[in-house]
């Protein structure tokens, strides 16, 4: 997520840096985004 949000890199560039596919970078980003969203929702319901 850091590379996407702070360095504003494309998923293709992130995949290349991490030696993974563009699809891997995209899926990993959105899974992380979902986890953060769920954690925030859990915090607000407590």
- Tokens representing 14 are 């992130």
- Three-state DSSP at 36 gives helix
- Which DSSP letter does residue 6 get? T
Q: What is the pLDDT of residue 3?
A: 96
pLDDT band at 18 (very low <50, low <70, confident <90, very high): very high
Domain count, the chain: 1
Range of the domain at 20: 2-45
- Which DSSP letter does residue 19 get? T
Cβ–Cβ < 8 Å for 3, 14:
yes
Q: What is the pLDDT of residue 40?
A: 94
- Chain centroid to Cα 30, Å, comes to 5
């Amino acid at each position: 997520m850091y590379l996407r949000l702070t360095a504003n890199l494309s998923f293709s560039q992130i995949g290349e840096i991490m030696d993974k596919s563009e699809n891997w970078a995209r899926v990993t980003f959105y899974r992380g985004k979902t986890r953060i969203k769920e954690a925030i929702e859990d915090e607000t319901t407590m």
